[in-house]
Chains A and B, each alone.
Chain A
Amino acid sequence: MSAARLTVAPGLLVPYAASLGELIRHPGRALLSALGIAVGVAMGMAVHIINNSAISAFSMSVNVLSGEADLVVRGPRGGFDEAVFPMVARLPGVAAASPAVEIDAKLAGRRETIKVLGLDLLRAGSVQPALVTDLEVSILDLFDPDTVLVSPQAAEQLDLKRGDTLVLQVGAREVGFKVAGLLAPGAFPQRAALMDIASAQWRLDRLGTLNRIDIRAASGADLTALRQSVEAVLPAGVHVSEPADEVRRGAGLSRAYRVNLDMLALVALFTGGFLVFSTQALAVLRRRQHLALLRVLGATPWGLTQVLLIEGLAIGVLGAAVGVALGYGLASLALAKFGGDLGAGYFRGVTAQPEVQLLSMLLFFGLGVATAVIGAAVPALGAARSSPVTALKAGSPEPAAAVPRYRWGGVALIVLGAAIAPLPAMGQLPVLGYAAVTLILLGAVWLTPSLTRRFLALLPLPRAPGAQLAVAQLRGAPNLSGASVAGIVVSFSLMVAMAIMVWSFRESLEAWLTRVLPADVYVRASLSGDTAFFGPEDQAEIAATPGVARVEFQRQLSVLLDPRHPAVGVLAKPVDAQRPQSILALTTKPLPVPPGANPAWISEAVADLYDVRPGGRLTLPLGGSDHAFFVAGIWRDYARTAGAVVIDRERYVELTGDRRVTDAALWLEPGASADAVAAHLHSRVGRGIEIAEPRVIRQLSLAAFDRTFAITYLLEAVAVLIGLFGISVSFSAQAIARRAEFGMLRHVGMTRRGIGEMLATEGALLGSFGVTVGLVLGFAISLILIHVVNRQSFHWSMDLHVPWLLLATLAAVLVAAAALTAVLSGRQALGDSVLRAVREDW
């Protein structure tokens, strides 16, 4: 027999070894906790990488387009007078200026667009050299008005090669361009076509207009002064800004959506932390006597806390490391498969490569580790402060561990959350709204054990022995019961809050669509792009279509009110100023319009972003001049998050002389066929135009809505799954801790089925209580999501709609899941091995 070598670790290493040994002995539970952290970190990391990569790709496009420019003049998408260019170019301090027509042109026969860059190719060389160097053809070839160069991305995505034809929709007709070659690789990293500016103006119906001028300042010029002098010569609605503002404005469009996704990922991480808390709370309970023994043998409370924190740290390091790797993998997969868009359409078509910054990796890793350590800290501190004498005594009550001691702390968190919820946005983000949700959730978790204790005390004692024992067990272990209930409360409240918010949004959207789509058929020159519209002849053709009783035309355009914000939509349509609510979903009482004033009805986003209120004035740059409008009301607009203003079309034509329209609403004669009308319009006006019945538009809109919320559903499902894991871990550990009890009950004659029923009763009781608290909490959180988070993020309001049937179904499923989980988790208790558990001392 070989001599065994005995190693005795000094000091705390012995309990540390014991602690890590515990993790090794129960790897399943430790891995499950680590998985919870990994999923949270992975979701956060993936969302972060995708957003960052998309913004980075977007920034790169903006930077290439700006080239070496110090300032960029931007106007409405419709453009501004090209006479502005010489005025700007001649200003002192301007070294070079490059005029441009930058248009998102609709691809004929497709719903997508391509960015068309019309540049003065000779001037562009001195401001945007990257765009015009290393071309496959001579610049002179591009002076052919039918010629374009396409970016490698466009060539790949649209399957174009030299000699092919790129067909765009202009107005209601199609215009073809010969592909002369490709832009140099990396010259413009998105789908784009480059052509001569004069050709673009002519072939894309933009004669006499530009929509951007890039300016390179002379060496040593004062940029601020130059900016002021440029601003002074610009017409209304045209602004000058720095290229970085362009990036900020573009990224700002999706900022709220991105932050919301980040928050949902953090919710997943929070639930992961909760899983660590449940696992560790019950691991502490399981080793209660072992820990008490360490105390008796001389371990200090702090030493014991350290041992337990190390377990949390080990779980956190493992989970966070896996999460970071998993997040990178998920992000790479999503970027390769879906591009940089996460469902809301902000970065649709943006090609991006995963970009990881070491700092953000460390941040997410640290967040994961910190969450696990905090999750482990609560039970660790509880275990350290509990009396070893009590823990070592047989038949002693459950420890007070893992349960916050002062109820007022929970109440204070909830009160603080409720108090800060209605406060205004910070940096245009609902920071306080999120903080309120977090505080209220934490407060509820804090209070759950004492609420559970009260609930259990109020429960009448059932007559059936199994149910009686179940109630007695729950009453006797309110801290453990509270930990299980807290898991259900967190999961279910998030589920309820999201369900109410999404349902409210969907119902409000449906009602809004019904209100804004009163006609029988809608015709649009194009669903996307800046090049499609109906001229007067097209309008006459549409009005004369057989079967059409009445037609209303609408002009949609966008104007830049403030270079810090994205462009605002202007909808010029027939509006009865006496009864605007007949076509607009007004959220305020319509104001009577003062004589001689031009009325405008602004969307909630315009009211929020530009701080304009009914009765106030709004200046709109239309037709190259500023025009004052009287704000006669605020309406709800779910279509344009950057804001929209409705004005009367007659007034718009008077002010601008622009008779072109982008949309037509048709009311059909009785018995007329929408299909026949559509066929007639396609044959007479153009096959590229979009024609749809309101029913179809509603379906498409709701499908887009569901797509937008797909990622949020996914993140929520992950959070709920982690919550259910928590419940399962909680019940499993309880079952293990109660093996001797089950064994004794089997000895004194309780059947296996009886114990199963007892466990099911415990699960169902805790589940029902958790669901009830979760319902109340979820309702409160949904109010914050609806009235604060959504309003401040996206600037739209919605009416409260509660999906009662869905909630009742979810509640029933969760209670059943809790009962089933309790039985499954305690299945060891139903086996014969527990019979021996009582005789560990035999």
Chain B
Amino acid sequence: MKQAIPMELSAGVSPLGNPASMLSIRGLGKQFGGRPVLRDLSLDLGRGEYVAIMGESGIGKSTLLNLVAGLDRPDTGEIVLDGIAITRLGEPALTELRRDRMGFVFQAFHLLPHLTVAQNVALPLALARADAAATASRVGALLEAVGLGDRGESFPRELSGGEMQRVAIARALVHDPTLVLADEPTGNLDPDSASQILALLRRRIGGQTAGILVTHSQAAAATVDRVYLLGPDGLRPKI
């Protein structure tokens, strides 16, 4: 759905990176106030691949996600998504990139309380000015897929935590993103709801959509294809 590189993003097309990778991170470094947080970090993520990143609190997981999402600039290294060097893009192009190719799932859900469930899910498509009929059909399908087909007209306050996170997942997937970034999506949920959410994410990530899951939970990590440990020495696969 998002294979063609839009004009605004073509400035960021990189000759670097692994052609086989959908996401390629090379030599990434970032420091805050002279204190290095990430050092020479590299990662390749194939299309449809789902990985988890684990690590101690404060080790830099958030920083890594910020950099991948284009919300922060690295001091060194490069991040290439679908052949586009994120680090070279300006703010408007980054906004467009996030809108078209990324989906986000937050620990605190972040649903707009004044929009209905369906309107919350439709938000990325509305911002991209997608066709209304296509949007309605896509939102309906997604809500069915996350088990909330009959709750489209409800407001977030009428949902449980697990249901709200399912809405957030539907919102993250509604525009067929290339990459879903999920940060502790089960951190606020009870074990049953958490396992349902993890299963849902597992089902929906794949095909054209890759995913990065940041978690402390071993159970969550068990649902992904590969697990990486982020430590002072960088990123290494967990065996």
Contact = CB atoms under 8 A, between A and B. Distances in A.
Interface in A739-787: 740-741, 743-752, 754
B127 A395 contact: no
A394 interface: yes
Given A396-B113, A472-B119, A747 B66 contact: no
B96 A397 contact: no
Contacts of A747: 69, 98, 102, 104
Contacts, number: 108
B108 A468 contact: no
B228 interface: no
B109 A394 contact: yes
A836 B99 contact: no
Interface stretch (A140-148, A253-261, A294-302, A473-481): A473-481
A838 B104 CA distance: 10
Interface string B143-185: 0000000000001110101001000000100000000000110
Interface residues of B, number: 44
Lowest 10 CB-CB distances: which A-B pairs, in order?
A476-B114, A749-B99, A395-B156, A841-B107, A842-B62, A744-B110, A465-B126, A835-B71, A748-B124, A749-B127
A477 B104 CA distance: 25
B127 A476 contact: no
B61, B100, B124 — most chain A CB neighbours (10 Å): B124
A462 to B, nearest CB: 11
B62, B95, B110, B164 — most chain A CB neighbours (10 Å): B110
A393 interface: yes
A472 B188 contact: no
A475 B114 contact: yes
A842 B98 contact: no
6 contacts: A472-B119, A476-B112, A750-B127, A751-B92, A838-B108, A841-B107
B232 interface: no
Contacts of B129: 465
B65 interface: yes
A390 B155 CA distance: 14
B22 interface: no
Nearest to A398: B113
Given A748-B127, A838-B104, A842-B61, 20 more contacts: A395-B157, A397-B113, A398-B113, A472-B112, A472-B119, A476-B115, A741-B110, A744-B106, A744-B110, A745-B123, A746-B95, A748-B98, A749-B100, A749-B128, A750-B95, A751-B92, A752-B95, A832-B71, A841-B106, A841-B107
Nearest to B70: A835
Contacts of A741: 110, 112
Contacts of B69: 747
Given A395-B157, A397-B155, A749 B113 contact: no
B65, B108, B183 — most chain A CB neighbours (10 Å): B108
Contacts of A745: 123, 127
B91 interface: yes
Interface of B: 61-62, 65-66, 69, 71, 91-92, 95-96, 98-100, 102, 104, 106-115, 119, 123-124, 126-129, 155-157, 159, 161, 164, 171, 183-184, 187-188, 214
A25 interface: no
A5 interface: no
B188 A394 contact: yes
Contact of B107 (A748, A751, A832, A842): A842
Given A747-B69, A749-B128, A395 B95 contact: no
Nearest to A461: B119
B214 A842 contact: yes
A320 B104 CA distance: 50
Contacts of A472: 112, 114-115, 119
Given A747-B98, A749-B124, A751-B95, A841 B183 contact: yes
A465 B127 contact: yes
B194 to A, nearest CB: 15
A839 interface: yes
A752 B123 contact: no
Contacts of B214: 842
A100 B110 CA distance: 86
Interface string A697-722: 00000000000000000000000000
A839 B99 contact: no
Interface in A819-835: 832, 835
A355 to B, nearest CB: 56
Nearest to A753: B92
A395 B123 contact: no
A437 to B, nearest CB: 35
B32 to A, nearest CB: 13
Contacts of B92: 751
B223 to A, nearest CB: 20
Contacts of B128: 749
A698 to B, nearest CB: 57
B109 A836 contact: no
A488 B214 CA distance: 46
A751 B110 CA distance: 18
A393 B109 CA distance: 11
A53 B104 CA distance: 69
Contacts of B96: 749
A842 B65 CA distance: 9
B157 A839 contact: no
Contacts of B106: 744, 838-839, 841-842
A476 B156 CA distance: 12
A395 B111 contact: yes
Nearest to A465: B126
B95 A749 contact: yes
A747 to B, nearest CB: 5
Interface string A637-668: 00000000000000000000000000000000
A397 B116 CA distance: 12
Contacts of A835: 71
A397, A468, A749 — most chain B CB neighbours (10 Å): A749
Contacts of B61: 842
Nearest to B115: A472
Nearest to A395: B156
B118 to A, nearest CB: 12
B109 A754 contact: no
Interface in A145-196: none
A468 B129 CA distance: 12
Nearest to A837: B110
B71 A748 contact: no
Given A749-B128, A839-B62, A394 B123 contact: no
